Amino acid sequence: MLSGAGEHCCAGLDLSELSQRSVTEGIAHSRAWHAAFDQVQFGRAAVIAVLQGAVVGGGCELAAAAHIRVAKNSAFFGLPEGQRGLFVGGGGSSRIPQLIGQSRMADMTLTGRVLSADKAQKAGLTKYPVANGEGLEKAFGLERHVASNAPLSDFSVLHALPRVARMSQGDGLFVGSLMAAIAQGDDAAKQRLRAYLDGRAMKAAKEAA
């Protein structure tokens, strides 16, 4: 679970840190963000982000690294880097276009356009809009649902799916077949399938009776 305390979620980095930073230092700093956000996206468990208030700059990049995003009514999303003479360096240039498209991200960065919670949901940046005060409740419900899945099934979604999506269609289909075979061969999957089929068979028998 990823949630900011207070009125706002995350407004990104402290811009005063950039005033004296060299190119080499800038690359190292950006790569440090990449390493941290990769742990969010490719960690051992799904990450659900609960977003309120400002989700701006690096905060928006962090939210994009999560797997599920719950946005309260108060949330607003922006990428003001272009207005500051900067470029998104925390991984957003890779992750955010996959959610909302390259042209929409370019618009936000070039013009400073801010998306409300409603517009962000319509754009695909978030998936679960909730009223203020209901974010954590919604997120915990989603978390319980995700945690009840077979571990290997969740692993395939967290680690295989984003990589398959970047492959050519032929390579993606092949890797998808391998992952599907591995997942269905797992003992946990077999147990769940047996339980499902047994339940369906019992229901059919009752209906026949």
pTM here is 0.85
The yes-or-no answer on residue 17 being catalytic is no
Domains in the chain: boundaries: 2-147, 151-208
Tell me the two tokens of residue 165: 């999506």
- Tell me the pLDDT tens digit for each residue of 46-97: 999 999 999 999 999 999 999 999 999 999 999 998 888 889 999 999 999 9
Q: Rounded distance, CA 93 to CA 193, Å? A: 40
The residue annotated as part of the active site, out of 7, 17, 81, 134, is: 81
CB neighbourhood size of 2 (10 A)? 20
**CB-CB contact of 66 with 47 (8 Å):** yes
Q: Domain 151-208 falls in which CATH fold?
A: Lyase 2-enoyl-coa Hydratase; Chain  A, domain 2 (1.10.12)
What's the first-to-final CA gap in the chain, in angstroms? 47
Four-way CATH pick for 2-147: 3.90.226.10, 3.30.230.10, 3.40.50.1820, 3.40.50.300: 3.90.226.10
The residue annotated as part of the active site, out of 7, 25, 61, 207, is: 61
The yes-or-no answer on residue 134 being catalytic is no
